[in-house]
Each structure stands twice: as C-alpha cells, then as structure tokens.
C-alpha cells in the first residue's frame, strides 16, 4: 500500500455517514442492504449508494450481491 492509497482510504473513512455505515457493517449477524445503511446513517438511499460505491472503490468495503440487493 502506498501513501496515496492510505490517504484515499482515510478520506473515505473521514465522513461521518460513511463511518456509521461501516460500523453497522461490522455487526455481521444481520444482512444489511444499502437501504438499511441509509436509514442507519440518516441519509437518502441515493446518498448511501454513492457512499457505498466510494467505499468499494477505495478499498475498505467489498460488495456482495444477493439477487437485486447488495
């Protein structure tokens, strides 16, 4: 990992809504969709989708799809 990679991950984690989403995902007992994460983070589903895409792109989150849900 380069310093630039680390800075990108840190930037992704620096937003409170994205941090709330990641904390919720650390509880692996239940499946959470982007809609669930939006409610947890207190943002619109479209905003949560953007946050999830950024977290996947920058590395701290890996996407798992089940049917139409991710």
pLDDT at 13 over 70: yes
Which is more confidently placed, 66 or 13?
Answer: 13
As given in the structure block, the two tokens for residue 51 are 């946050």
Question: pTM, whole model, 2 decimals?
Answer: 0.81
Per residue in 22-63, pLDDT tens? 999 988 778 888 999 999 999 999 999 999 999 999 877 888
Is residue 19 assigned to a domain? yes
Q: Which residue, chain included where needed, has tokens 């007992």?
A: 29
> Of the candidates 50, 46, 43, which has an alpha carbon nearest to the alpha carbon of residue 17?
43
Asked whether residue 70 is assigned to any structural domain, the reply reads no
Domain count, the chain: 1
* pLDDT given for residue 20 in this prediction: 94
What's the rounded Cα separation, in Å, for the pair 3 and 57? Answer: 16
* Structural domain of 24: 3-58
Asked whether 32 and 25 are in contact (CB, 8 A), the reply is yes
């Amino acid at each position: 990992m380069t310093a630039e990679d680390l800075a990108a991950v840190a930037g992704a984690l620096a937003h409170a809504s994205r941090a709330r989403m990641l904390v919720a995902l650390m509880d692996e007992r239940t499946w959470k969709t982007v809609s669930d994460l939006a409610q947890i983070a207190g943002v619109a589903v479209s905003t949560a989708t953007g946050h999830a895409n950024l977290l996947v792109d920058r590395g701290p989150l890996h996407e798992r799809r089940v049917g139409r849900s991710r």
